[in-house]
Structure 1
Amino acid sequence: MTARILGGRYQLQEAIGGGGMAIVYRAVDTLLDRVVAIKMLRAQFAEDEEFVLRFRQEAQAAARLAHPNIVNVYDVGVDEKEYYIVMEYVDGPTLKDVIIERAPLPVEEAIDISKQICNALSQAHEQHIVHRDIKPHNILLTKFGVVKVTDFGIARAVTGNTITDRQATSVLGSVHYFSPEQARGAKTDAKSDIYSLGVVMYEMLTGSLPFSGTSPVSVALKHLRERFIEPREMNKAIPQSLENIVLRCLVKSPDGRYADMNAVKADLADAVKHPNVPKFQMPLEMNEDETIAVPVVGEGFSDVSTELRKSEKGKKWWKRALLYGGIAILAIAALGAGGYAAIEVVTRIVRVQNLALPSVVGKPEKKAVQTLEQAGFPADHISEKYAPNANKPKGTVYQQDPTGNTQVKKTREITLYVSQGAPKIKVPPVAGQPYDQAKESLVSAGFSADNISEHEQESTSVPDGQVISSSPAAGTKVASNGKIVLNVSVQKMTTVPNIVGESYSQAVQDLETAGLKIGKVTHNKISNMPDQTVYYVYPYLEGNSVPVGSTENLLVADNPGGSSTTPDNNTTTSDNSTGSNSTTPGDNTTTNTTTTGAGGTPQPHEVDVTVKRPHGQPVDLEITITDARGNNRVVVNQTLSETETFQETLYLAPGQSGDLQVSENGQVVKNYPVQG
C-alpha cells in the first residue's frame, strides 16, 4: 500500500480508520509535502449509485465549510473507479477514545469540548447543512485540545423537498445518537444535531449512553418513547445548570429543544458562572401512535416482533402471520445485501383507548395509586420512584409522568415520584463566626435562609455579635427545610470604677464588684506613695463602659516603709512643676514638654514634637513613647512630606522616668527623656 499513489500525487501509507462505507488512510501529499488523510469508498460500493452519490455529497458538504473546528477538505478525486476525499490529517484521538479511557470527563473539559462542537455545527447550519451523524467517533481532538468535527457522509442540505427525497425517508445515522425524528424517518433539521449533541454531552459527563439495547430497533424505540436516567443521578459533580442543558437538548419533540446551536453555546458559557439554577422540567413525551422507520444492521427482528406482539394484540392470528412473514422476507433481503444498508420497517401500533389521567400530585402514595386505578389505569402500569424532596411531606407524590389532567393511552406507563422528605444535611460548625457569616455558611450548606433565626444570649467570653452555638448543634443531620437557631453573644456592659489612689485590696474588691477581672499587676518602687497603693490602671480608664468580664491591669506602689496614707496632693517636684523646651542646633525636631497636676499618681506630660522638612522630601516617621502605660508604644507611624507638629502625652508618676523617641526611615534621630 505504501507504494501506491492516487491521482499521481497522494502516496498512501497506512489505514488509520474506517466505517461501513469507507476506509481512511494516512497519506503524504507529494506536491505540497504534507501529511493528509484520505477517505476511500469501499470497493463493494463503487458500483452503487446511491453510495457514490452519498460519498460525493459528503465531499461537497464539507468543502463548503471552512472553520477551525471542522476537518478541512482539500481535494476530491477518482482513481481507477476508486472514489476518494483528501482531508486535513488530525494527529489525535477520537472523543470516543477519550470517553472510553477516562469518562466521566471533568465538567470544565466537557463544557469546553461541547462549545467547540457548537461552533462547528453552528457554521454548518448557517450553510444550511445538517450533519445527521454527530457522535464521539466523528469528533477528533488534536494534541492541543482543539475539536475537529468530521464525517459529513450523511449530511444534507436543508431544502423544501427534504421529506419527499428518497434519502430523507431513510433512517441514517448511528442509532445510539440519532434523534427521535430520525428514528421515525421524519424530516431532519438542525435540531436533530442538537439532540445528538445532547447524547454526546450525556456520555462525556456520565460515561454511559442514555439508551442502550440488544438491537438497533430496541434502541430506536427507546429514543421515541422512554425516559433516560438523568445525568446528576449518575454523577453528582454535574452542576444543575449543565444538566439542564443536556435535558433540554434531549427533549423528544424538536419544538422543545434549543432554537439553535448559538443558544446552546450561550447556556454552556453561563453554566459555570451560575451553577445553582432551578431544574429544567422535561415536557410530556410524544404520542406513541407514530409511524416508526428503524435501521437494521446485521441484527435479527426480535425487538420488532416484541413490539408488534404488544401493539397488535387483538388482531387475528392470520394477519399477524402475514405481517411477520413480510418482516422475515425484508430481514433476509437486508442481510443478503450485506447487512449495512438502512431499511425501513413500518409498524402501526393499534389504537388503544384514551383515558383522562387525573393529577395526583400532593396526594399520599397509596391514595394516588387508588385514584389512578379508579380512573381505569392498570396497577401493573403504575410505578413509584422515591427521592428526597424539600417541598412535599414524606410519602407524598411530588411529580407524576405523564402530568395530570391530560388524555393518555390506557396502557401508558405512569411513574409517580414520591417524596422521602427533605434531604438531611449536617449542620456546619459556625461557633465564633459573626451572625451574618454564620447564616451564610448555613445557606451554603443547603439550609433555607428563611428558617435561620437569631437568639441573643449574654456572654462574658464570646465577643459581642458572634455565634456562641447553634441549635441543633454542629454535626447534627437536619432536614434542609428544618429550623436552625443561632445563639448570638450579647455582652453585658459595666462602668470602670475609680480605683486610682485606693489600696490594692480595695481596688480588687471594687473591680470584681463591677464584674471586671484582674489582669497583670506590676509593683514599682515609688518612695513618695503609700505602700500597696494603686497609682495607675490600663487599658481602661475611670468611667469607660466595657463588657463584663473585661480585664484591667494595675500598677501598684511598692514602698514597705512608706506612710499608710495618701501623700499631700500638693507635693510636687521641681522637674514636674515647670515646662521645658528642648532643641538641638541643626536638628529638624523640636520638643516642648509641659507638666500639669501633682501627687503620687501618674500625671500627664504634654510634649510637642515638630519634625521639619525644609526640602519637602518624604520621610517615614515613627514616634514611640515609654511611660507608665507601657514601653515603646507607637503613637505615630506615617509618611511625612512637609513640616508638621505632633502633640503627644506621657503619663508618669512622681520620680518615674519616661522617654519619647523619634525615628526617620527606620533610624532613631532623637530621644527626649521626660522625668515624672
Structure 2
Amino acid sequence: MSAMVLGGRYQVQDKIGAGGMATVYRGLDEVLGRTVAIKTMLPQYANDPSFAARFKQEAQAAAALQSPYIVSVYDWGKDADTYYIVMEYLRGTDLKSGIRKHGALDCKKVAQIGSQIAQALSVAHKHDIIHRDIKPQNIMVQPDGNIKVMDFGIARAKNSHLTQDNSVLGTAHYVSPEQTQGKDLGPTTDIYSLGIVMYEAVTGQVPFQGDDAITVALKQVNEQPKPPSQLNPAVDPSLESIILKCMQKSPADRFQTADELYRTLRDYLAGRMQAVNTATSMLPAQPTNKLERGAGVVPATSGTASMPRVERTNRYRGQSATEQAAEQEAERARKHKRNVVLGVIGGVAAVAIAIVALVSVLGNRTAMATIPSLAGMTQEQAEDALAERGLELGDIDRGFSEDYPEGQIYDQDPSALREVPEGTRVNIRISRGPSGAEETEVPDLTNLTPEDAERKLQEVGLLGREGESREDENIEQGRVCDQSDEPGSKIRVGQTVTYYLSSGSGQESVPDVSNKDEETAASEIEEAGFELAPTQYIYSDSVSEGNVVYTTPSAGESHDRGTTVTLYVSLGPEQPEEINVPYVVSYSYYDAAAALRNQGFTPILASGNSAEGKVTSQSITGTAPRGAEIVLTTQTPTVTEPSTGQTDPELPGQDPDDEPSTPGTTTGDNTSTTTGDNTGTTTGDNTGTTTGDNNGTTTGAESGTHTGLSSN
C-alpha cells in the first residue's frame, strides 16, 4: 500500500492507525507538497453499498464545514475499489489526554475550549449536521492553544436515512438521554455532550460512571449529576450553572442553539455576570452547597491547572494528533461490540423512567421548599427568609440597578417560587445603585494578562472587553499594550473598558532548526508564526538523512509573521552514478584521455609510460562511478625520428662520415629501428633492425637483422 497514489495525486505513506471501517495513513499531496491524513475504507466494506454510501456522506458532510475549529477535509473520492478521504494532518494532543495528565483545568480555560467547540457545532448545525459523538477524545488541542473538533465519522444530516441505529453510536459517558433512548436527535444532543465535556474538564472526571455501558446510559436518563463544585470547590458558580444547563435531561431545558451557548460563555469570559445569570435563570434547581470531603465526594485529581499549549502524553507520546486520532478510532472499534448492547436501552430506559416516576410519587420523602422572592431585601433579611424555609444563602455578587437602591437585592438564582430540596443555596446580587451614580478612575492595564486586567477593572466597578490584537515591540505577546480609556481618567462606574493585547513586534526571527528532524523543525517554524513551503530535499555529506540542512530565509533573520519558510532536508551523502566506461585500447593516449573526460572520468597515465604512445590497456572497463580515475598504459612508439632522405650533414640521423644517401620511403606500420643513412624502401610490418647504409628495398614482414650495405 505504501507505493499507492490515490486520485493521481495523494501518495499513501506509512499506516498510522485503523478503525472499525477504515484505515488511516499519513500521506503526501504531490500537487501542493503538504502532509495530509488519508482515511481509506476497509476492503470488506468497500463493496457494501450501505457502507459506501455512509462513507461518501461523511466526506461530503465534513467537507462542507468551514471553521477554524473543525478539522479540514480537503478532498474525497474513489480510486478503483478504494474509497478515500483526504484530511488535515493535525499536530497537538487530545483533550482527554490533557485531562488525564493534569486533572481538572482552570475555569477560564474550560470556558474558552467550550466556546470554541460551540462555534464549531454552530457551523455544523447550520448545515443540519449533528455530530453525535462530542467527547474529549475528539477535541484536539493545537500548539497555539486553539482546538479542532474532529471525527464526523458518525455525524449525519438531521433527516438522513442512514445509520438508523442511533442508540448504539457515540460513547456512553457522553451520550444524551434521548440518544440513549433511540429518540430523534437535534442540536441540543450535541449541547448535552458538550456540557459533559466541560464537566469533566473542570472536575477531572465524568459525571456518570458504571461497570458497563448500560449502567452508564441508564444514569444518563435517570440520575442528576453532582454539581461540579462538590468535586472541585474551585469551580466558578457561573460556569457551573452554564454546564448544568447544558446537561438538563429535557432538551427543552438546555441551551437551544450552539450560538446561544457560545454567547453565554463569551459573556462569562468577559465578566458580564448579569448576562450569564439571565441565560441560566431557567435552570432547574441543583444542590450547590460545597460538601466537606467525605463519602460520595471525589476531589479533582490535582486541583486546577492550565491546559498546556503543546503536550504529548501517556501512550501517545511522540505521535501527531492525526496519529492519536487514528489510534483512538481503532480503540473505538474494539469497543464496538460491547457498545452494541445500547440498542436495547431505549426500552429498558422507558421502563426505568416509569419506575422512578412511581417511586417519586409514592415514596419520595425528600423535604422540599419554595424559594421566596428576595427582591428589595437586604442581605440580612434574605438570610432570615431563606433560613425559615430550610434554605441557605449562596454566593453574593454586586452590580448596578436602576430599579433598586444601593444595598437591596435585585436578582437571585434560583428564581423565586421554585420548588427545591431543603438545603439548596440561593445566590443573590445586591445593588450598588444606578450605574451613573458615581465615577471611578480607570486603572492602568499596561502589561497585564487578560485575566489580571479583568480583575483590576472589576475591583473599581468597570467591565472589560478584549479588542483586536495590536503589534507592539515593547510589550510581550498576549499582554495588554493599549486600552480605550486613558489610565487615570474618570468614567462612570459600570462602563466597559476595551483593552488590546500585544501580538509582538509583528516580526519574528526564523528559528535555527538545522540538524533537527523534519517534523520537529516544521513544528518550531509554525509555532514562530511562519508558513511552510513544500520541503526541498538535497544531498548532504555533513547532515544525517531526514534532518534539516538549512532554511530559506536563513536562521536568525527577522521577517513578518506569515512569511513562507522553506526547509532543506538532507537525503544523506550523494551516491555517485554508475555509468559505462569507454573502451579506449588502441587509441592514442590523447584521444583516449579526451574520450574518458567527455564521459566524466579522470584519465591517469601509468607511471613510466609515454603520452606519445597508444593505449594498450585500461584499469577499468564496463561501468564505474562518474569521476572515477582510469589508469591508461601505453606502448612507446618504435620510430622516434622520421627519415627525410636529405644529405645535409647537420640533419638528425645522418652520419657525417658516410656518403650521401638517396632519399627513401617507409611505408606501413614499422616497429623496427633504422640507424644510419637509409636510401631503400621498407614496406610492410618490419620488426627487424637495419644498421648501416641501406639502399635496397625490403618488402614484407622482416624479422632479421641487416648489417652493412645492401644492394639487392
TM-score range, shorter chain: 0.3 to 0.5
Between Structure 1 and Structure 2, the one with more strand by share is: 1
TM-score by length of 1: 0.44
Return the TM-score normalized by structure 2: 0.42
